[in-house]
Structure 1
Amino acid sequence: MPEAGVHIAADYFHSYSVVGLLAVVGVLFVAVAFTAGRLLRPVVPTPEKLLTYECGVDPVGEGWAHTQIRYYVYAFLYVIFAVDSIFLFPWATVFAAPGFGGATLVEMFIFLGFLAVGLLYAWKKGVLEWT
């Protein structure tokens, strides 16, 4: 019986050795590609090549630009509600299953209540005002 356990352990570690070998080959492939690129590319720096490229237009002014925070807030709110809408699909499928209706409905209303409180908070703070 101990021979069967050794055989199972050997198969177990063999599958990990395949994964490890694949990882090593992948790392070596990337390292060789980067090294070949560095050795084969022409290196002729000129002042024009060292300039910041902005769609063919010479850069004017400083590199720092002021960005309105409201754009990030809108993006953040979108991500929050997009992720929350993803949670609604599994809820709908579970709600359709027999025996899960009442408890699932209560849980979802609690979840939607949290979302409503967050949206109400953002609205009261004036985050949703565009001007």
Structure 2
Amino acid sequence: MENYANNYVVVAVFIVLGILLPVVALTVGRLLRPNKPNALKQTTYESGNEPVGEGQVRFNIRYYLFALMFVIFDVETVFLYPWAVAYNKLGLFVLVEMLIFAGMLLIGLLYAWKKKVLKWNSV
């Protein structure tokens, strides 16, 4: 019983340190830095040149959809790789689970294809 309590104490210490150290570092940095704002320091800096044009650029919504599709299939790879490495030890049940997972992703891909999400047209 004591051994389990020691494990939780170690985890608690790491959590406290993980929160406390960045907070202390940021607070000390804020207290020690010089704070002399002026109008020149508040201007936009663009590689040493005067800023040209508007500061915000509008991107096509298609970039968002492609990025979302990439993230979905990238996460699929994260799940498939460990399964493929340990395939021989896991058995038939895990194979069926992974086929269901891949099938759901395939259904999502077919749905995106049907809705023409993958087609790049000028909107």
TM-score if structure 1 supplies the norm length? 0.63
Q: Alpha carbon RMSD of aligned pairs, Å? A: 3.7
Query: CA 1:56/1:123 → structure 2, altered by over 3 Å: closer, same or farther?
Result: farther
Larger Rg: 1
Of all paired residues, the percent bearing the same amino acid is: 47
The Cα of 1:27 is off from its aligned counterpart by 2.8
The Cα of 1:130 is off from its aligned counterpart by 2.7
Query: CA 1:72/1:20 → structure 2, altered by over 3 Å: closer, same or farther?
Result: same
Runs of 4+ in structure 1 off by over 6 angstroms are none
1:129 corresponds to which residue?
A: 119
CA–CA distance in 1 between the matches of 2:86 and 2:11? 39
| Gapped regions of structure 1 (runs ≥ 5) | none
- Provide the aligned length of Structure 1 versus Structure 2: 120
2:34 corresponds to which residue?
A: 42
CA–CA distance in 2 between the matches of 1:90 and 1:21? 27
The Cα of 1:109 is off from its aligned counterpart by 2.4
CA–CA distance in 1 between the matches of 2:110 and 2:46? 41
Q: Is the 8 A contact 1:94 1:104 kept in 2?
A: no
Query: CA 1:18/1:72 → structure 2, altered by over 3 Å: closer, same or farther?
Result: closer
